[in-house]
Chains A and B, each alone.
Chain A
Amino acid sequence: MSKRVAITGNEAVAQAMRQINPDVVAAYPITPQTEIVQIFSTFVADGNVDTEFVTVESEHSAMSATIGASAAGARAMTATSSQGLALMWEMLYIAAGLRLPIVAPVVNRALSAPINIHCDHSDTMGARDSGWVQIYSENAQEAYDNLIQAVRIAEHADVQIPAMVCMDGFIVSHGMENAELLDDHVVRSFVGQRTPRHSLLDVDNPATFGALDFADWYFEHRRQLADAQTYVKGVVLDVAKEFAKISGRNYGLFESYRLDDAELAVVVLNSAAGTAKAVVDDLRQQGMKAGLLKIRLFRPFPHDEIVAALAGKKAIAVLDRADGLSTMGGPVFVDVRSAMYDAPGPKMVNYIYGLGGRDVDTEQIAGVYWDLARIAETGKVTSPVTYLGVRE
């Protein structure tokens, strides 16, 4: 029987890792992720999992050890945040390039400088072109559900790409919520065993991983990685369908909230979507045709589906919890607006919000919808990129 518990995001993710029972976990502590592996290490110490737990001297080593384990054929995981993910940087590309289906929860936190331990998405947005699948989670329940599904997605024969499951630091990682945990055996049979096609420990079928790849083949291998990305969204949907059978919870590439008949739409990911839903309900009562699109799968970017969901809207605001510093908006905005180029119509604006853990409240998000209403009415965008909640 599944059970309903009061749990933090970190605890929920640690429980999911216990139930997944990976062969190897190599990790290094960093706020606000520390708890995940700290709790997981107690499962190791208590013999609740069969995992080989590797304590390492840095996140670079954590990802390196995870890569080695995965190449050896293990189901390998790690977890990190912020500077830790930044330190993994070169190894992230290697994990993806070697096509190793590593799964890692990432607890979103701002990047230095100035030093800050609170939530924004600059860490995972920096890794968005690394080749990893990125799945974003609104709350503890989604982080738990997404992590379990990520194992199946990453290891799928057509995919073979590492996946990171993101949730907001402190807001979700340390916030206590009501969530439903599945039975251990249900999760274990859902994730099954990893069956690598090739592995270093398969001595009967020797394989070289990470060989030199010059101008004569590198391009072809990168092309393969790009091709594999095209299968991800189909696999994400298939795995979600199967997951619905064991959990009763439905997932897609994104969540549409009162979006179908909406004229004004906000696009957002992670926890701010919860706040925005309350705003949508409120504005709907006031007669505004407000709707929300919460991106779940951000990499690869499900552009066709997002365009279909947003086509015909009058005005759209994309909320980014990271600044691209390009002077033309945040990374989510750039992708959404680029996708929408093929479906011209809606005016689009960007709001950079919540950097370094700055709270975003219902009033601010309501203000975004009112801006959209003005834009829809006048057809004029006066400020394409706005810093929402910064002190002027």
Chain B
Amino acid sequence: MSANGKQKGWKDVPIGGLILEAGSSDKYETGDWRTYRPVWDQEKCRHCMICWIYCPDSSILVREGKVVGIDYKHCKGCGICAHECPAKCIDMRLETELEAGEAEGAGAGARCCAKSGGEAGGK
């Protein structure tokens, strides 16, 4: 509710920490808590949807019955998807290593943009 940078005061918000908007957690980006990043291998994926069922953060992005990527803005890196995937096509990799590689290669800031853009519809 609060990551949007608006500087409202205590008189401007609902009491008791209530959030009166449904689905607002989508706007609160929590992906940077992650230590390990699930890296999905599109080639090996059978689209069985097991990862989608198990993911506790609704971070497996699906479109028209197919996995299309991982929502790194909300994925916490728990590794459940990788553990459950029968095709072993999700690899848990250290964020620090990936970030170091990204900083060298594509430049810093790529970390949270690794998901395929605008694919939230299947959540």
User: With an 8 A cutoff between CB atoms, is B109 at the interface?
Assistant: no
Q: Chain A CB within 10 Å — which of B3, B9, B15, B19 has the most?
A: B15
Chain B residues within an 8 Å CB radius of A210 = 17
Contact B10 A99 (CB under 8 A): no
Report the Cα distance A221→B8, complex, angstroms.
12
The answer on a CB contact under 8 Å between B19 and A220 is: no
Q: How many A-B residue pairs have CB under 8 A?
A: 58
B13 within 8 A of A: yes
- Cross-chain contact A208 with B18 (CB below 8 angstroms): yes
Set of chain B residues within 8 Å of A78, measured between Cβ atoms: none
0/1 interface trace, chain B 1-44, chain A, CB 8 Å (1 if under): 11100001111011111111110100000000000000000000
Q: Is the interface of B mostly helix, strand, loop or mixed?
A: loop
- State in angstroms the CA–CA spacing of A160 and B19 once bound together: 17
* B-side contacts of A160, CB under 8 Å: 15-16
Contacts of A220 in B (CB 8 A): 8-10, 13
Q: Are A207 and B19 in contact (CB under 8 A)?
A: yes
Given A211-B1, A214-B2, A216-B2, are A221 and B17 also a contact pair (CB < 8 Å)?
yes
Q: Are A205 and B20 in contact (CB under 8 A)?
A: yes
Contact with B along A197-220 (1 / 0, CB 8 A): 010000001111111011011111
Residues of B within 8 A of A219 (CB): 10
Chain B residue with the shortest CB-CB distance to A100: B16
Residue of A160, A211, A218 contacting most chain B CB atoms (<10 Å): A211
Give CA–CA (A227, B16) in the complex, Å.
12
Looking at chain A's contact residues, is the secondary structure mostly helix, strand, loop, or mixed?
loop
Say if the beta carbon of A309 comes within 8 Å of chain B: no
Q: Does the CB pair B14–A98 fall under 8 Å?
A: no
- The reply to whether B15 and A224 form a contact with Cβ atoms under 8 Å apart is yes
- How many Å lie between the Cα of A160 and that of B15 in the bound state? 9
Whether the Cβ atoms of A217 and B18 lie closer than 8 Å is: no
Smallest CB separation, B22 vs chain A (Å):
4
User: Would A217 and B16 count as touching, CB distance under 8 A?
Assistant: no
Contact B22 A206 (CB under 8 A): yes
6 additional A-B pairs beyond A98-B17, A209-B16, beta carbons within 8 Å, are A160-B15, A206-B21, A208-B18, A208-B19, A211-B1, A216-B3
19 pairs across A/B with beta carbons < 8 Å? A97-B17, A98-B16, A99-B16, A160-B15, A198-B14, A198-B20, A206-B20, A207-B20, A211-B19, A213-B2, A213-B17, A218-B17, A220-B9, A221-B10, A221-B13, A221-B15, A221-B17, A223-B10, A224-B13
Residues of B within 8 A of A (CB): 1-3, 8-11, 13-22, 24
